[in-house]
Amino acid sequence: MPTLFVGISELVQPHADEGNSKEPIDVITDAALLVDGGTVLAAGERVAVEKNPRAVHASVIDFDGRAVVPGLVDSHTHVVFAGERIDEFSRRARGETYEEIARAGGGILRSIEPLRVASVDDLVLQSLPRLKKMLAHGTTTVEVKSGYGMAPELELKQLRAAKALAAMTPASIFGTALAHVVPPGCTNRRQYINEFCHQVIAQAARQKLASYCDVFVEDIAFSLAETRIFANAAREHGLGLKLHVDQLTDHGGAALAAELGALSADHLEMTREPGRMLLAKAHVVATILPGCALFLGKDPWPNGRALRDSGCEVAVATDCNPGSSMLVDLCSCAAMAATRCGLSLEEALWATTRGGAKALGLNDRGRLVQGERADFVVVDHHDWRALFYNLGDGPVHGTYIAGTASSLKSPSTCP
């Protein structure tokens, strides 16, 4: 039986393909939402939705004057990991840089050993609380990368944990095989790259552990030429391509993402022209990760404004990871995208809903229109902007995934 959600003060409707227009969302007041079988039957003004013939026998849920936005899509995370790196956070606070700590054996390499000794069950146990918190903050779709294994079997273990988590939470979880850096002590880069292509990308695709392949394109990680090898393997095995580019240097990573037709180019702290224009022209979603600059205490912040002004569609994600962005709350990242990266709140909302979905090549979510997934967030406020305004404590009354409430707080009085 369909469900009719009424009492919606504002229903936020991101535009499908106008992420770089001045007004990327519509806000419909006094709205309703009709849902059946996990998908949207109708959404819009209450008077119009109530006229839908399927609304007549629907069960009714009244949100009592609260706003509704589409479920948030976190399109870039490393949320499945083992251990912590609190000491590195402390050392940075005393003045050491991320690079100095990495050179002394910290950084990404510090996450290898805890992953190696952890079982899939351990990884699930450590990662599940983080995913639950994401959900409580309104995230309904999460991309999860490997990249802390640096050996084929360990990379696959990380992806198996992500798949196990997908079966345990109502959120949609999509795996990504990430070529992060070459393992310590590796003397034959080409051999490692071949191994990764044949034993991680190919296996992850075959075993349906991953939908995407990602490469850290940077002087300290993989070159442009090496990235092309990974991209070919990804294409051959039907995985979508996403790239970490221009985080530390602008050395052509954005241009490469455009040339390879990646779904998204992520980070972009250092990207200048013509990189931004090339991304826009190739319809590569520009994904910014403001949590990194905050957590590392390091300039520059990604320039979301310049990316949009160059014509890019911009997405915002958490980059949740133990070293450079220990952050599960996408709403806070949206707020930072507004205060530090030049986006309006409307643009930040687009960036965390439809923008995130586009960064994952998903056309069934990120909006609330007929035939798409009924993933949505009920804001415990009549004004949807309260979600970003209350920094670190976005008032989420409920997160609905495929039309079902998955984390309802106790009822409270709506202001």
Nearer to Zn ion, 118 or 265 (CB): 265
Shortest Å distance, C-beta 22 to Zn ion: 30
Per rule CB under 5 A, count of chain residues that contact Zn ion = 1
What is the DSSP pairing of strand 285-288 with strand 396-401? Answer: unpaired
Tokens representing 40? 């949207």
Shortest Å distance, C-beta 97 to Zn ion: 18
Residue 95 falls in which region: left (phi positive, over 0), alpha (psi -120 to 50) or beta: left
Residue 266 falls in which region: left (phi positive, over 0), alpha (psi -120 to 50) or beta: beta
Contact 66, 397 (CB under 8 A): yes
Residue type, 229: I
Nearer to Zn ion, 269 or 319 (CB): 319
Tokens representing 132? 């639950």
Nearer to Zn ion, 35 or 131 (CB): 131
The whole-angstrom separation of Cα 15 and Cα 161 is: 34
Shortest Å distance, C-beta 292 to Zn ion: 8
Contact 341, 333 (CB under 8 A): no
Shortest Å distance, C-beta 69 to Zn ion: 25
Shortest Å distance, C-beta 75 to Zn ion: 11
Shortest Å distance, C-beta 18 to Zn ion: 27
User: Taking CB positions, which residue lies at the least distance from Zn ion?
Assistant: 319
Contact status: 347 vs Zn ion (CB under 5 A): no
CA atoms within 13 A on the CB side of 264: 31
Shortest Å distance, C-beta 319 to Zn ion: 5
Nearer to Zn ion, 143 or 380 (CB): 143
Contact status: 269 vs Zn ion (CB under 5 A): no
Contact status: 214 vs Zn ion (CB under 5 A): no
Contact 22, 76 (CB under 8 A): no
The whole-angstrom separation of Cα 70 and Cα 48 is: 20
Contact status: 143 vs Zn ion (CB under 5 A): no
For residue 177, list its beta bridge partners: 213
DSSP-assigned letter for residue 186: -
Nearer to Zn ion, 14 or 149 (CB): 149
Nearer to Zn ion, 215 or 377 (CB): 215
Q: Which residues ranging from 297 to 336 are in contact with Zn ion (CB under 5 A)?
A: 319
Closest alpha carbon to 374 in 53, 10, 11, 36: 36
Nearer to Zn ion, 134 or 378 (CB): 134
Nearer to Zn ion, 313 or 319 (CB): 319
Shortest Å distance, C-beta 216 to Zn ion: 8
Shortest Å distance, C-beta 244 to Zn ion: 5
**Peptide linkage before 14 cis (omega within 30 of 0):** no
Burial class (CB in 10 A: 0-12, 13-18, 19+), 57: exposed
Closest alpha carbon to 404 in 367, 376, 363: 376
What is the helix (H) or strand (E) element at residue 161, kind and residue range?
A: helix 152-168
The whole-angstrom separation of Cα 194 and Cα 213 is: 14
Shortest Å distance, C-beta 322 to Zn ion: 12
Nearer to Zn ion, 268 or 379 (CB): 268
Nearer to Zn ion, 319 or 372 (CB): 319
Contact 10, 383 (CB under 8 A): yes
Q: How far apart are the first and last CA of the chain?
A: 32
Nearer to Zn ion, 10 or 319 (CB): 319
Shortest Å distance, C-beta 298 to Zn ion: 15
For 409, residues 6+ apart whose C-beta sits below 8 A from its C-beta are: 380, 396, 397, 398
Interface ranges with Zn ion (CB under 5 A): 319
